[in-house]
Structure 1
Amino acid sequence: MSWSLDFHQRRVLVTGGTRGVGHAVVECFAALDANVLTTARSQPQALPPGVKFVASDLSTAEGCAHLARQALERLGGVDILVHVAGGSDAPSGGFSVLDDAQWRKELDRNLMPAVRLDRALLPTMIEQGSGTIVHISSIQRLMPLPEATTAYAAAKAALSAYSKSLSKEVGPKGIRVLRVAPGWIKTQASIDLVNRIAREDGSNYADAENKLMQSLGGIPIGRPSTPEEVADLIVFLSSSRAGTITGSEFIIDGGTVPTV
């Protein structure tokens, strides 16, 4: 029995595909011969050969509409849609520092791009009778850090509820909708954060990394996930090998979440 994943000329749209997990997802799909389009606010220095790019700000309705039009024009439709774009720059300080503008910003970065792009691209998936949508959530929706991630975690929790409801609606029409919830991922941004903590504490990288892991509640396997490990999960879930999986959330966090 062959266990290869066949994505030959499958039309794939990946948001936030120029760095971190998104870039790893793009590389993986491109290596498997998919027809890939990705997006970010600005043009990256390099992308895998053959990967198409559209500059777009997905925190706005106009940016999402522009990307959807480009995807339909340049790919001729979408078979797989992976929502990676998101993040947070909310200040620390708990609830009192989160004004209406900051709440709106978190929702516009972590919930509304998925809602808007799904709404724009689902009609063609329904017409063709097939498609897969993967929303990237976060374990923060289950264990938010009140000092700094309240609004981000709430937005990801909303994304999860929306995703589950959508899966029930479009599953009978041939479209699968799934969620992947990473914990701490060793991206360049997280490496920079650990180095900053080490400088501030006068410690070394290993001690600072351990301090950060403990602040997250601990990682039983003793290290963060890599972008490539998260990408591998996303790509598998997007494949025909996962053809009966829909409406589910898959946590990839090294064991951080302590509950069943």
Structure 2
Amino acid sequence: MQDYSTEFAGKKVLITGGSRGIGAATAQRLIDGGASVVVTARSPHKETPAGATFIAGDLRSKEGAEAVAKEALRILGSLDILVHSAGAARVQLTSMDQIPETEWVDSLDINFLAGLRITNAVLPALREAGSGASIVYVSAGGLLPFGGPLSHYGAAKAALNNYALNLAKELAPAGIRVNIVTPGPIITPGGDDVRKTITGAMGITEEQFFSVVPLQGRGGKANELGEAIAFLVSDRASYITGHNQFVTGGWGSLV
């Protein structure tokens, strides 16, 4: 079995939404590989890896994103990898035309513009790192429509996907790779809250919800996403950019 314990030695990493769930699992995986990792979220959590440095921050404004970037670079000194895992899905149990406009705007702000802001803020450092630098966006729902209750969330993630693919083309000549990871139904604190709301409205059990997943009828684990992200930011994926990696257990309309 190959030893990956030094795979990320010397790498400097910033992970947004890194206090819990997919972001925290990714942070732990990269720390285990030897990376120096800064995670940011609005508040720490019991899942936040002890080996990471936590920065409290809010990416819902340009100033907030720039403050996070400035502090992360102060701590790390440079930057090789950005993993943007921050996001929020607020279920709206109504038809799309009844979702308040404020929810559409807020979802766009959190699930698309936050990624744009933090990327712009750290891009000079990634350009300085040059070939080998990498960005991964975690983007559920951008290609797999969730329906009315989460349509505003999916639309914002679709914008993030399009942005990421354009960015991949723009940064490719500099050797900076940009990829996307699309999760399926993953067992995380945020995902659990959304799932409970939806299953309650549908009148089904959690077991029934997961039964449609082709791979063993189970939900995914955060560390399974973390492993996929670790691959994409590693030198093992040195010729992969502009790629959307589905980690869904076969769930969704594209399989």
* Distance apart, 1:197 and its partner CA: 7.7
Moved more, 151-160 or 26-35: 26-35
Relative to 1, partners in 2 of residues 1:213 and 1:147: Cα closer, same or farther, differing over 3 Å? farther
What aligned pairs does 1:1-260 form with structure 2 within 5 A after superposition?
Answer: 2=2, 4=4, 6-45=7-46, 47-130=48-131, 131-138=133-140, 140-191=141-192, 208-213=205-210, 218-221=212-215, 222-259=217-254
- After alignment, is 237-246 or 56-65 more displaced? 56-65
**Cα distance in 1 for residues equivalent to 2:199 and 2:155:** 30
> Over residues 199-258 of structure 1, what are the superposed CA-to-partner deviations in whole Å (9 max), with x where a residue is unaligned?
8999xxxx71233236xxx21111111001010000111100110100000001111123
Q: Does the aligned pair in 2 maintain the 1:56–1:67 contact within 8 Å? A: yes
Checking the alignment, whether the CA contact within 8 Å between 1:194 and 1:208 is kept in structure 2 is no
Cα distance in 1 for partners of 2:181, 2:49 equals 24
Q: 1:32 Cα deviation (Å)?
A: 1.4
Equivalent position SS for 1:104? helix
1:91 counterpart letter in structure 2: Q
Q: How many Å separate the matches in 1 of 2:188 and 2:181?
A: 17
Query: RMSD value over aligned CA atoms?
Result: 2.3
**Aligned-partner residue type, residue 52 of structure 1:** T
Partner AA of 1:8 in structure 2: A
TM-score by length of 2: 0.90
Code of the aligned partner of 2:253: P
User: Which ranges of structure 1 fall in alignment gaps of 5 or more residues?
Assistant: none
Instruction: Return the letter of the residue paired with 1:40.
Output: A
Between the aligned partners of 2:237 and 2:197, the Cα distance in structure 1 is 40
Quickly say closer, same or farther: Cα 1:169–1:197, change in 2 above 3 A: closer
Cα offset, 1:189, TM superposition: 4.2
Aligned-residue sequence identity (percent) comes to 37
Cα drift, residue 98 of structure 1: 2.2
1:181 match: secondary structure: strand
Deviation at 1:51, TM superposition (A): 1.3
TM-score after normalising by structure 1? 0.88
Measured after TM superposition, the shift of residue 187 of structure 1 is 1.5
Task: Write the distance in 1 (CA, Å) between the matches of 2:144 and 2:199.
Answer: 25
Q: Aligned pairs, how many?
A: 252
More displaced, 163-172 or 59-68? 59-68
